[in-house]
């Protein structure tokens, strides 16, 4: 492992450690926030120490069934989230994106994936033992795995997820999952622990229920959850599915929100604007967005494609079937496959249930999948008199939008909402 690799992962760990010290020093801090950064630190520490501990490292793209890796005692490294964390905590994402561009990736490709390519090109991340990827949820994801295999010289497995949900397609997906397990057993020499996978499935079912409880609590007026706190919920299932620490975080957060709701205490001092967030805000502006939320009393109360789980229950006695079932329940899968009338209607229904005043669509210019929804969602929300702000932005590239730009656009939007 090169010094650049160690330093890059180490910089994320150090940033989390600094945040933890700040959290512990603040009065009336959210205990759940402390738990979140503790498990985040643990996650990246395992990646940093993977070689010296003799562990097996599997890099994987977003929306991947990481629970299978945990059941096999394989260390997971979520490629997109690692790029996001670099942008969020270190401000060093520009170097990765630039390296990706120099490697030949066009500007039309989303920056998390350009950043992934750049990170492995300049050895800013440890080379994985295997690369795992799928077609959930976009074509960028479907192609990134092949590129990383080439850059790192490692074997890989592509998990083909069907677009539709039927008995035939579920059986096909279960076969794909079993094929991936066979591949991992051959490459790592580690066997699937089916009892452990069953335990993880039981824990994931508990976590999904807790997520639903938290979503219900966020309906309260004023809403009790931090304005940008939904990114913690987003990251949790990406990195820690079925982990007891994730359950602890969700239980702690649920109890904190219950107390706030009972006391009629909101996340901001004067809640004025209840927002629906569509897609991911710029990571490099998260602190600024949080401050601006408190200044204007604007809070994201629901994120249909990131925090609202579909109906369903997982069965620990059928662990592999449950892993397949979960992939059809994750909030993001609503953006996968045909955008049906039912999916669009759900956005409208949630807007009413959460009493939102406006919606914000963070239009990542490199994400063709989500940007194709802009007009459809704007027209849908317009039918129920909900304005939508579209912000051309980028998840990790700080050259796309400045604090001044985003402030000006939000101020104009809030003025519009006041007139409704």
Tokens describing residue 392? 């051309």
pLDDT-based confidence at residue 185 (cuts at 50, 70, 90): very high
pLDDT (tens digit per residue) in 377-403: 999 999 999 999 999 988 888 777 888
DSSP notation for 80-141: HHHHHHIIIIIS-HHHHHHHHHHTT--TTS-HHHHHHHHHHHTT-SPPPSEEEEESSS-HHH
pLDDT (tens digit per residue) in 125-179: 899 999 999 998 777 788 889 999 999 999 999 999 998 889 999 999 999 999 9
CA 238 centroid distance within chain: 6
CA dist 184 → 9, 66, 87, 142, 328 (Å) = 24, 12, 31, 19, 23
**What is the spatial distance between Cα 234 and Cα 398, in angstroms, rounded to a whole number?**
21
141 neighbors 238 (Cβ within 8 angstroms): no
**What is the spatial distance between Cα 216 and Cα 22, in angstroms, rounded to a whole number?**
30
Whether the link from the prior residue into 137 is cis, omega within 30° of 0, is yes
**What is the spatial distance between Cα 140 and Cα 130, in angstroms, rounded to a whole number?**
19
* Cβ neighbours for 172, distance < 8 A, ≥ 6 positions apart: 160, 162
Which CATH fold topology does 3-192 show?
Answer: Rossmann fold (3.40.50)
> Which phi and psi (to 5°) does residue 273 adopt?
-130, 120
377 neighbors 359 (Cβ within 8 angstroms): yes
Burial class (CB within 10 angstroms; exposed 0-12, middle 13-18, buried 19+) of 305: buried
> Which phi and psi (to 5°) does residue 66 adopt?
-60, -20
Tokens describing residue 158? 């592509």
Q: Where along the chain do its domains lie?
A: 3-192
Pairing mode, if any, of strands 388-393 and 358-364? Answer: parallel
pLDDT of residue 6: 43
Mean residue pLDDT of the chain comes to 91
pLDDT (tens digit per residue) in 258-297: 999 999 999 999 999 999 999 888 888 888 999 999 999 9
pLDDT-based confidence at residue 4 (cuts at 50, 70, 90): very low
pLDDT-based confidence at residue 105 (cuts at 50, 70, 90): confident
Residue 336 has pLDDT above 80, yes or no: no
pLDDT of residue 11: 87
If you average pLDDT over residues 365-373, what whole number do you get? Answer: 80
CA dist 155 → 181, 211, 366, 400 (Å) = 14, 35, 28, 35
Block residue for tokens 């989303």: 110
Listed ranges 19-28, 113-122, 315-324; the one with the highest mean pLDDT: 315-324
Pairing mode, if any, of strands 130-134 and 273-278? Answer: unpaired
CA dist 295 → 48, 285, 355 (Å) = 38, 15, 21
- SS3 of 139-180: HHHHHHHHHHHHHHCCCEEEECCCCCCCHHHHHHHHHHHHHH
pLDDT of residue 59: 96
Block residue for tokens 């706030």: 260
pLDDT-based confidence at residue 39 (cuts at 50, 70, 90): very high
**What is the spatial distance between Cα 109 and Cα 107, in angstroms, rounded to a whole number?**
5
pLDDT (tens digit per residue) in 206-235: 999 999 999 999 999 999 999 888 889 989
Beta bridge partners of 130: 58
Pairing mode, if any, of strands 156-159 and 298-302? Answer: unpaired
pTM for this entry? 0.93
> Which phi and psi (to 5°) does residue 359 adopt?
-120, 150
Q: H helices of 189-318, where?
A: 194-217, 230-239, 244-263, 286-296
């Amino acid at each position: 492992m090169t010094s650049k690799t160690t330093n890059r992962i180490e910089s994320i760990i150090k940033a989390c450690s600094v945040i933890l010290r700040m959290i512990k020093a603040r009065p009336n801090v959210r205990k759940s926030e402390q738990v979140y950064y503790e498990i985040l630190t643990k996650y990246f520490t395992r990646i940093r120490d993977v070689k010296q501990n003799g562990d097996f490292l599997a890099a994987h793209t977003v929306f991947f069934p990481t629970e299978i890796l945990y059941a096999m005692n394989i260390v997971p490294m979520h490629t997109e989230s690692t790029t996001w964390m670099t942008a969020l905590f270190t401000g060093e994402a520009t170097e990765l994106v630039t390296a990706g561009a120099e490697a030949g990736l066009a500007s039309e490709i989303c920056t998390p994936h350009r950043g992934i390519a750049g990170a492995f090109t300049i050895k800013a991340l440890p080379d994985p033992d295997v690369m795992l990827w799928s077609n959930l949820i976009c074509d960028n994801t479907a192609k990134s795995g092949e590129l990383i295999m080439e850059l790192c010289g490692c074997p890989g497995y592509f998990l083909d997820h069907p677009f539709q949900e039927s008995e035939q397609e579920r059986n096909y997906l279960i076969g794909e999952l079993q094929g991936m397990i066979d591949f991992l057993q051959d490459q790592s020499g580690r066997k699937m622990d089916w009892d452990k996978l069953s335990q993880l499935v039981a824990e994931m079912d508990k976590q999904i229920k807790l997520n639903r409880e938290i979503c219900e609590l966020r309906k309260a007026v004023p809403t009790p959850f931090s304005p940008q706190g939904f990114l913690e919920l987003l990251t949790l299932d990406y990195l820690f599915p079925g982990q007891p620490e994730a359950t602890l975080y969700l239980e702690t957060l649920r109890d904190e929100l219950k107390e706030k709701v009972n006391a009629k205490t909101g996340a901001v001092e004067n809640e004025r604007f209840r927002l629906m967030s569509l897609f991911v805000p710029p990571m490099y502006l998260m602190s600024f967005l949080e401050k601006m939320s408190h200044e204007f009393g604007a809070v994201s109360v629901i994120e249909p494609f990131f925090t609202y789980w579909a109906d369903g229950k997982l069965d620990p006695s059928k662990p592999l079937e449950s892993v397949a079932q979960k992939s059809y329940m994750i909030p993001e899968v609503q953006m996968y496959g045909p955008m049906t009338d039912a999916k669009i209607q759900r956005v409208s229904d949630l807007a009413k249930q959460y009493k939102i005043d406006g919606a914000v669509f963070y239009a990542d210019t490199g994400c063709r999948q989500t940007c194709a929804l802009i007009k459809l969602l704007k027209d849908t929300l317009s039918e129920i008199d909900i304005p939508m702000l579209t912000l051309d932005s980028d998840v990790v590239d700080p050259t796309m939008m400045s604090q001044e730009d985003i402030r000006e656009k939000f101020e104009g939007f809030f003025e519009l909402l006041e007139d409704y």
